[in-house]
Amino acid sequence: MNSSQKRPANKKRTFMLWAVFLLFLSGVLALTHDIIITNILAWQICRTDPNPKTFIKKTVELPESIYWEDNIYPGFDEKDRLLMIRNYLDGVHLKTMALNSPDGTIYLYTATDGDWKTSREIKARKIKGNFMATIEAEAEAIAKRGLTFTRKTMPQLNFNVVFNFVNLTSFQSRYLFSDDVTITDNKTNEILAYNRRLMRRWYLLMPDVGIGQQFYYPVPKCGERSSYGFDEKVFPIWTISAMKHLQHENNQIYMLFIGDEQ
């Protein structure tokens, strides 16, 4: 076979090798393009203002009164309000609590140390009884005497804790999720603490197959991991648990953005 006959065969072989390589490269990019885009976008967002994404100027052990405003779930429904009363309104560190509800109504609750007398005596083993059943009944009694207000008519409490979505572009939202929490001292209008977290969506190569109905991967690209646990670093006052909602935030956000489409 002369050289003129070998040349077309070599070209065909080279073409086939390039075709296989490009096909392989296309397959890799199809499976990893979201990883590349996510990390580029996260790098850009994490280095822009506000910086730092998280700060705490001071902690407050006796806040006495706090208003929690949740604009993500949105608001605290009846069961979540009972949970908040049970977990935070101890009548010593926190004596007054206000919570926004899904319909915009503000619920205000007050408590004294005496409101939890029976459950505390059971916990201390001074008397016998069902601790959880008793503390739930005490929380319901506090809830029944609660007052309702609008955002304009509610009294000013010592501190505000506000949860909000952080707006991303439609392109960024395909790969990322962001929210923030701002804690304000209402007597001075000073922002005591702030956290903006940036979470990545699930990768094609790493889907949510373990738990299910999770909107984002639970490790942040920047900011504190949990917006709903951040205020615990400022107000170390929770009693039974630090939960604020019965539905986990990741599941709730999944239902808000994806659940209705299924």
Per-residue model confidence (pLDDT) at position 179: 96
| Residue 1 confidence (pLDDT) above 60 | no
In a domain, 96, yes or no: yes
In a domain, 7, yes or no: no
Give the separation between CA 235 and CA 213, rounded to whole angstroms: 30
In a domain, 238, yes or no: yes
| Residue 165 confidence (pLDDT) above 70 | yes
Neighbouring C-beta atoms of residue 255, cutoff 10 Å: 14
In a domain, 51, yes or no: yes
In a domain, 17, yes or no: no
In a domain, 136, yes or no: yes
Residue 87 belongs to domain spanning: 24-262
Count the domains in the chain: 1
Question: When comparing pLDDT for 1 and 14, which is higher?
Answer: 14
In this prediction the pTM is 0.86
Question: The tokens of 68 are what?
Answer: 């929690």
| Residue 43 confidence (pLDDT) above 80 | yes
Tell me the pLDDT tens digit for each residue of 143-159.
999 999 999 999 999 99
In angstroms, what CA-CA distances link 171 with 151, 166, 167, 200?
A: 34, 14, 11, 13
In a domain, 166, yes or no: yes
In a domain, 87, yes or no: yes
